[in-house]
Amino acid sequence: MADKLLQIFAKAPVQGFVKTRLIPSIGIKSATEVYIELLERVVTLAAKSGYKTQLWCAPDQLHDYFQQIVKKHHFILRTQRGDGLGERMKYALGQGLEEARSVVLIGADCPVFTEAYLAKAFDALAESDVVLGPAEDGGFVLIGCGKVQKDMFNEVGWGESTVLEQTLGAMAKVGLTSQLLPTLWDVDTLADVERWRAS
């Protein structure tokens, strides 16, 4: 069994399927290009980190882009399963824990992840069941687990500004201990894109 496993949630870079909130501001083509650029950054970071890495794909693993990532970086491809985000994350994390002692799951929307931040997440799992990387918008950009529970995401309103708070409450209800990393930010709006470009 591996000690540490990194998972990335990724959508196929199909126009109209990714970064839909950006489309009214910059158009469907540019929104897709932003997503690809963000995903490339996370994929490169994962490859450099040296962690065993799985790419959890939506809607499936078949898109050429995913196949190219496998050829270049030898990541393992998996298909996201579940009705909502919570179900999909719980499934991926649970599957990961069958192969590794600790699993960290990230998305493609945060342009400020670093290897040090990922290392802090894995370190936190030596002391807590769950680690969360808060996002400035009230959600989270990272979740790591040393164990999962069936109802760990119960009653979390995905997309709301209280996602982190609700998730912490849900974890506490099922007896999971948790720890928070420093707060980061992700790219959802045109202002976020401009902030990223400026940095």
Whether 72 and 104 have beta carbons less than 8 Å apart is answered as no
pLDDT digits (tens, 9 = 90+) for 84-99: 999 999 999 999 999 9
Is residue 106 pLDDT above 80, yes or no? yes
pLDDT digits (tens, 9 = 90+) for 11-64: 999 999 999 999 999 999 999 999 999 999 999 999 999 999 999 999 999 999
How far apart are alpha carbons 153 and 155 in whole angstroms?
6
The predicted pLDDT at position 142 comes to 98
Task: Tell me whether residue 145 is exposed, middle or buried, using C-beta atoms within 10 angstroms of its C-beta: 0 to 12, 13 to 18, 19 or more.
Answer: buried
The predicted pLDDT at position 1 comes to 77
96 closest CA partner among 81, 85, 114: 81
pLDDT digits (tens, 9 = 90+) for 164-181: 999 999 999 999 999 999
How far apart are alpha carbons 196 and 130 in whole angstroms?
28
Give domain 2-190's CATH architecture: Alpha-Beta Complex (3.90)
Domain ranges of the chain: 2-190
Which is more confident, 100 or 199? Answer: 100
